[in-house]
Chains A and B, each alone.
Chain A
Amino acid sequence: MRDRIDFRLLGALLKKNRRENTSSFRKGNFDAVGFVMRLLLAGAFIAIFVIFFGKFVDMYLGIKLNNVSDAEERLYELLTLVYGAVLLAMILSGISQINQALFSADDMRVIAALPIGANTLYLSKIILIYLGQLVVACFTVLPVNLTVAAHYAVPTAYYPLTALACVVLPLMSVAISSILALPYHALKVFLKDKFLLNFIVITVLTALLLFLYAYVLEAVKELLLGDDMKYFFNEKVMTGIALCAKYLYPANLISNILLGRELLVSSLVIAGWFLACMAVSLLMIRMILTRSLQSRISGSPNFVKKVKPLAKSRLPFNALLRKEFLMIFRTPGYMFSYFAIAVVMPLLVYFCMSVGSSLAVKLIAVDSNLELAIFLTMLFGMLANMFCSTNISRDGMLFYSLKAMPLNYKQVIFSKVLLCMIVTAFSQLFSAALLAATSYITVANAAFLFVVGMMFGFAQICVATRADFNHPHFSSESDGEIKESGNTVSTVLVIGIVLSFALGGALLLTKMYFSLRGLSEAYAYLTYVITAGIAILSVAGSVTFLLVGLRDRFYRFSGGGLH
């Protein structure tokens, strides 16, 4: 049976998608703080990237291979590697987006019953994903290409071809993602009920990404310290890069086009590649989409490990604690955002410490490992604990059910706080232990770091929980999962970042001030006093914020959309 694409229906679906996607910008839904934060962060990131990448381009184009300098060949390699990385990121994101759009999005439950062909439906989703990736391509390819143009005499055609690259890269990414999306879906279905395996896989992948991040950090450090990175790019490494660029399809084809090499062949291969991928993916979609949607609607057998009929009885507080744990552990999004991040947080602190420690010594000639450790622990601990800003909202309408149960308000709220504290204790303990084990700080300082880390963590958890309690934002998804951060998350994030930088900066400046006067030994206690003082104040302030009027607020709670 043929499944023609109905362009009228396609238009209607795109219109629906556009309306849904712009709904978050409407008055009342718009998270202005978060939007501005994201813009500022993106702007700052691009500015920093352009500065460092520019330096890197100068250095890299000057590298000689077999004592021969070939700037155009180096540029080809550089662009190929960058496009390869961008393409890889876009493919991974594309796979996830296609899966979300086809198999998780709520609208599919309705659309599945409408007289819309699988290919039309698929195309409407793909076009939307493509448009999103087009924006990402503009934010990545343009800074790279324009930085290159500022450091190397590129041909005039390079500029319009850069625009073409922005258009073509997401096309290729979407085409490849389309083919990989279905196997990924099968893997997800396989892992769906295997919560522990899921947790291990996600955590290991995150840790691997962190190792990659550490590698990049190391390179940045070398660049900052002014060491000659050419030593890193020796003959062997350069031969490997050249070989990699030669076979890194299809990223190298775009580099070819940009540099005017094999223009016709590269264009034809890209077009052929795209058409072949799309044809295969449309065929696969036509074969399985309808069946897959039907199985989603009918529900699938979902047996978990057989358990004893009833477990041993627990105290209500412990039952709430367990409920909270299960809710997070069995929701992949939550599990990654909190548990996996909390597990890899010590690695994050360690990697940044390894870079920051030597940077501090070289740039400001001060050994400030403890101060840096406090700053990093506070910053990354805060990022891991951001999740607590949804402590109430995660329950959704079930929060009202909890209200109707014979539970004290303290049991409901404190069970949430305690679970977060257990997670915080884990990440803070391993973080401090790792820094002590790698001799960045002494064992005594590690103990101090753990204690103040717990105090700051506790303060943040209390503030985040109460802030969310005051302004809950319940999900409208059928499973109640929160997929978008609200104003509370952005506000707690801003406060956390400002406080981390303020305390970290204050500690480093104090240390510098006394070190430059040769008094660092005499005034070493200041670090402890300042940190402990602010930690105590934070705890006192946040506990007050959490508890004042909590009982009354619990009784009067009527937010989140219940009418």
Chain B
Amino acid sequence: MVNDEAPVREEIVSVDGLYKKYSKRADYAVEDVSFKVYAGEIVGILGHNGAGKSTTLKCLEGMLPFDKGAISICGHDIVKEPVKAKSNMGFVTDDHAVFVKMTGIQYIDFMADVYKVPQAIRQIRLDQLEKIFCLGDSIQNLISSYSHGMRQKICMMGSLVHSPKLWILDEPMTGLDPRTMRAVQDYMKYYASIGNAILFSSHALNTVAKICDRVVLIRKGKQVDDIVMSEFADRPDFDFEEYFLSNERQD
């Protein structure tokens, strides 16, 4: 007997009718944005500067309150069950905010404590992450002495120490050297392939086209498209950059 039913995909993120404004008089920074992210998917959020990408991600991370809509992470509502929802995600902010008075290793320790990573697997995780991000001995230094790229790396390492089901990255490639950029892209693919989900915003269209399964386009706070990248796989002439820019020009 053939099973015609599509396999049930594990829903990691559900954003439903999200509205967010920064003040009562202001326009909506995010208006009626809805999308889902499933296990094994890499979803990119694209848009021009100020389109609402970071705001959407910050609402998702629980950093910012929102006015209407619902967000759930692994089935946990971010408002009603914030701690459970946040336990399932790791995030990297666009400003690479990190505790600069800690050493790299102390920061990893801190994140492991906060996410309650068992003692037994901490070192294994750290070794895995070190292979990707290659901070070397610098991990023993104060983060205040780190360069921009190194801060980005330690933020990523901290966000992955608990192997979250959802990895959220805001402009992750900014400031990374080409080797690390490639390593991060490869790791993102690997990380999604083992059943996790990745949601990230970026202006690097090549990266987005290369690694994303889906792309959510946001313009002036509104969601204008939800593109499944595999649909263009059989079109060798398809230029994602041109597609994105023509979409923007419609404005």
**Partner-B contacts on A (CB < 8 A):** 193, 299-304, 306-307, 309-316, 318-320, 322-323, 326-327, 329-331, 396-398, 400-401, 403-408, 479-480, 555-558, 562-563
Q: Cβ of B145: which chain A residues have Cβ within 8 Å of it?
A: 299-302
> Does the CB pair B65–A303 fall under 8 Å?
no
Choose one: A310, A312, A556; the contact of B105 (CB below 8 Å). Answer: A310
Q: How far is the CA of A327 from the CA of B98 in the complex (A)?
A: 11
- Size bin of chain B's contact surface: 35 or more
Say whether B95 faces chain A, with CB atoms less than 8 Å apart. yes
B6 interface residue per 8 A CB criterion: no
Q: Pick the contact of A306: B91, B112, B140 (CB < 8 A).
A: B140
Cα A315 to Cα B115 in complex, Å, equals: 9
Given the interface contacts A304-B141, A313-B118, A556-B65, does A404 sit within 8 Å of B109 by beta carbon? Answer: no
Give 23 CB contacts A-B under 8 Å: A304-B141, A306-B140, A307-B105, A307-B140, A310-B108, A313-B112, A313-B118, A316-B116, A319-B110, A326-B99, A397-B93, A397-B97, A398-B98, A401-B91, A403-B62, A404-B91, A405-B86, A406-B84, A406-B115, A480-B100, A555-B79, A562-B63, A563-B22
Considering the complex of A and B, which 4 residue pairs feature the smallest CB-CB distances, nearest first?
A: A319-B113, A302-B145, A404-B61, A406-B86
- In the complex, what residues of A have CB within 8 A of residue B83's CB? 406-408
Are B103 and A304 in touch, CB under 8 angstroms? Answer: yes
Tell me the complex Cα distance, A405–B122, Å.
18
**B138 CB, nearest partner CB in chain A, Å:** 9
A311 vs B114: C-alpha distance in the bound complex, in angstroms? 13
Question: Is B230 in contact with chain A by the CB < 8 A criterion?
Answer: no
Q: Which of B22, B58, B114, B119 contacts A400 (CB 8 A)?
A: B58
Q: Which residue of A lies closest to B92 (CB)?
A: A401
Interface mask (B61-86 → A, CB under 8 Å = 1, otherwise 0): 11111000000000000010011111
A299-B145, A304-B141 given; name 11 further pairs at CB < 8 Å. A301-B145, A302-B144, A304-B142, A310-B126, A315-B113, A396-B97, A397-B97, A401-B98, A403-B61, A404-B86, A408-B83
In the complex, what distance in Å separates the CA atom of A301 from the CA atom of B144? 11
Do A323 and B99 have beta carbons less than 8 Å apart?
yes
CB <8 Å contact, B114 and A319: yes
Q: Does B128 contact A (CB under 8 A)?
A: no
Task: Give Cα A555–Cα B59 distance, bound, in whole angstroms.
Answer: 11
Contact at A304–B140, with CB atoms within 8 Å? yes
Cross-chain contact A313 with B117 (CB below 8 angstroms): yes
Decide if B126 touches A397 in the complex (CB within 8 Å): no
Is B182 engaged at the interface, CB distance under 8 Å to the other chain? no
Compute how far the CA of A403 lies from the CA of B99 in the bound complex, rounded to whole angstroms: 14
Considering the chains assembled together, what is the distance between the CA atoms of A326 and B144 in angstroms? 13
Which of A309, A316, A331, A396 meets B114, CB within 8 Å?
A316
Q: Which residues of A contact B113 (CB under 8 A)?
A: 313-316, 318-319
B123 is an interface residue with CB less than 8 A from chain A: yes
Q: Which residues of B contact A313 (CB under 8 A)?
A: 112-113, 116-119, 122
Q: Cβ of A310 and Cβ of B141 under 8 Å apart?
A: no
Q: In the complex, which residues of chain B have a beta carbon less than 8 angstroms from the beta carbon of A408?
A: 83
Question: Residue of A at shortest CB range from B111?
Answer: A405
Q: A302-B145, A307-B140 are in contact. Are A555 and B22 (CB under 8 A)?
A: no
Separation of A300 and B101 alpha carbons in the complex (Å) = 15
Distance A318 CA – B114 CA, assembled complex (angstroms): 9
Asked whether, in the complex, the Cβ of B22 is within 8 Å of the Cβ of A558, the reply is yes
A311 contacts which chain B residues (CB < 8 A)? 106, 109
Q: Does B87 count as interface, using CB distance less than 8 angstroms?
A: yes
CB contact list, B135-159 vs A, under 8 A? 140-142, 144-147
